[in-house]
Amino acid sequence: MSRISDCLNRVCEIGLILVLSAMAVAVFMQVLFRYILQLPLFWTEEFARYCLIWASLLGAAIALKRKQHIAVTFFLEHFPQRLAGVLTFAAHISVALILGVMTFGGFKLVLVTSSQISPALRIPMAVPYLALPVGSLVMLIHIISFILHRQTNTVENQESCL
């Protein structure tokens, strides 16, 4: 599961680079066309907005994999190691449940919006909404990988004590 998580993270990193690059180019074009050529493009704002949505969810998945999300660890650092481990495990399970609901609900939202068309780009609204279930699913896989890795390490530590 760790290898799948690592591969998905690499795909997300590449996707994030592409999405942010496309967004930067679109915004630059909008500024160029609006203020220099006096011919504003009608689609760049919507395109940049959808890129930002994708970038946010892909970035959240990458940050989760790197364990760079904001966390309040003050109390955990003052608890005994065993209790801190149990609380961390409970937090991972809670996050996995929430991400499971987000993934399921996100896919339902994509199905509902697949027939709607965006105003400027004229693409199915499922395209921007697909960022939610994709990002949530990648984060869910990362959390499951963390949980399984923790369980593997716990079993190995117990065996080494025997």
Question: Residue holding tokens 């949505």?
Answer: 53
Stated as kind and residue range, the H or E segment containing 25 is helix 2-31
Mind listing the pLDDT tens digit for each residue in 60-76?
Answer: 999 999 999 888 888 88
Question: Residue holding tokens 């801190």?
Answer: 84
Q: Given a cut of 50, is residue 78 above it in pLDDT? A: yes
CA distances from 131 to 14, 28, 60, 68 (A): 15, 24, 11, 20
Q: Given a cut of 90, is residue 1 above it in pLDDT? A: no
pTM of the predicted model as reported, rounded to 2 decimal places: 0.88
Q: Given a cut of 80, is residue 158 above it in pLDDT? A: no
Mind listing the pLDDT tens digit for each residue in 89-127?
Answer: 999 999 999 999 999 999 999 999 999 999 999 999 999
Which amino acid would we find at residue 145?
A: S
Distance between CA 108 and CA 22 in Å, rounded?
27
